[in-house]
Amino acid sequence: MMLRYLPGSLRVRLTVLIVCYASIAFATSGFAVYEAMLSRVEANAADQMKDVMSALEVHLSELKSTAGITGDPDTWKEHVHGREYLAFAIFDMAGRDLLATRGFRNYSPVLDPQTPHNPVTLSAPTTALRYLVTIVPLDGRDGTAVRVVVQYDDSEERELVRSNTEIIFITEVVGILLAAISAYGVTTLGLSPLRRIVTRADEMSINRLGQPLPKLANSDELSELGQAFNGMLARLDDSFTRLSEFSSNLAHDLRTPLTNLRAAAQVALAQSRAAPEYREVIESSIDEYERLSRMIDDMLFLARAERADLSLSIHEFDAAAEARRVTGFYESLAQAADLTIDVRGQGIIHADLLLYQRAVSNLLANAIAYAPRNSTIDIECWEQRGAVVVLFSDRGPGIAPPHVDRIFERFYRADPTRDNAVSSNVGLGLAIVKSIMDLHHGSCGVRSDPAVGTTFWLRFVPGGKTVGSPT
């Protein structure tokens, strides 16, 4: 809440906060020193008044009458000799002045206390004088007592405290100014690496994403910031690279059917033809239209899969049974390639049926595209540690190790020259499979050996628990 009222600049904000805390620290320490000096002055005054009072009590206890007080005043004055800030007076019980040393100022409330041997401390509100009052009985048989008042003038000490307070205040002001200058310099120096990031961000362009920011400083926080910034640059560079590759592949794959359509139309319009001939041209164009339609549908599906509010129609079904139903649509295609599709096992899953069928269709079409003739495509379904795993295996040429980790990335193709895959020829088929598994909080993966073949797997876990690869 307080940050709302601070300056917008982080450098100035840190300086203001440091100065505020320094001011509080200086003010607290100055107040503590001031209170300590006052306490010391008061304690010193009390000790000296008690010493004088004790000496006077001893002296008075040896007298028989008040005549010993008035008869030899110089002897009494020796009690405060050399201490100009101390004075005392002795009164009889009627309030008459028997003896007063130089500098004593009468203060009427000192005549009020009546309790013997119980000193009372009084202070004059308008002066720097304080008094210690007590009643002392004499040694006479008539019970005579006198009132003794010791006066302490702490004006000089208070002036000393005031002077020290001014010095402390000036020192604190200078200290706060030095703290402000130091804080501004330190924050400027400490935040200087951030300006390098700002400068680098201003210079950033698509062509410079691959140039990481040098190590900022030895500070852990700034090092983490630099690493995070470089990580962001690496991800952006990778995304732009894949997007550029995708744009190139997409342009190529869109150009092919469009070129075919244009060529067919130009040939048809080159000369007058009969209606059946025009009909034949239109029918031959349908395959290209369907290819374009599938490509657009795949891109729209991936876009919709990124929406957080996408709802799934979850049903319970046998994964193997639905896989057999999907293979039925590929029987003619498999027979034409001399391939056999074998579906085994069973496993009950909770998933969106249409999305599951699409994932199976993409993987099955991919297997048909790359499986060698006179081979078998195996689809296995079984339960493993509370999850249901669906495997798709073919005896094809396999996937090179550098491509295995990226095969499910969007717009990525392991071999850009291959365009005979049925599921997608722009690297979207396997990306769609991964999006479907992500929507179900499951996982997918691939194991490939060029000498054996390739196996894709889907793993469905109830409730979206932590997933891993099947053993």
DSSP state of 427: S
Given this model, what pLDDT does residue 57 score?
Answer: 87
Digit-coded pLDDT (tens) for 432-454? 899 899 889 999 999 988 778 89
Please count the other Cβ atoms lying within 10 Å of the Cβ belonging to residue 452: 12
Given this model, what pLDDT does residue 465 score?
Answer: 47
Q: Letter for the amino acid at 150? A: V
The low-confidence residues of the chain, meaning pLDDT below 50, are 1, 416-425, 465-469, 471
Given this model, what pLDDT does residue 226 score?
Answer: 73
Please count the other Cβ atoms lying within 10 Å of the Cβ belonging to residue 349: 25
Digit-coded pLDDT (tens) for 260-307? 778 878 877 877 778 787 777 787 788 778 777 877 777 777 777 666
Given this model, what pLDDT does residue 132 score?
Answer: 92
Task: From 352, 358, 375, 363, select the one nearest 460 (Cα to Cα).
Answer: 352
| CATH homologous superfamily of 314-464 | Histidine kinase-like ATPase, C-terminal domain (3.30.565.10)
Q: Looking at domain 229-305, which of 2.60.40.10, 3.30.70.360, 1.10.287.130, 3.40.50.720 is its CATH number?
A: 1.10.287.130
Task: From 122, 125, 71, select the one nearest 98 (Cα to Cα).
Answer: 71
Interatomic CA distance for residues 146 and 59, integer angstroms: 12
Given this model, what pLDDT does residue 113 score?
Answer: 67
Topology given in CATH for the domain delimited by 2-160: Beta-Lactamase (3.30.450)
Given this model, what pLDDT does residue 410 score?
Answer: 67
Given this model, what pLDDT does residue 87 score?
Answer: 92
Location of each CATH 3.30.565.10 domain in the chain: 314-464
Location of each CATH 3.30.450.160 domain in the chain: 2-160
Given this model, what pLDDT does residue 419 score?
Answer: 41
**Tokens 């001939």 -> residue:** 277
Given this model, what pLDDT does residue 183 score?
Answer: 86
Cα 112–Cα 114–Cα 115 angle in degrees, nearest 5? 140
Given this model, what pLDDT does residue 249 score?
Answer: 65
Given this model, what pLDDT does residue 236 score?
Answer: 81
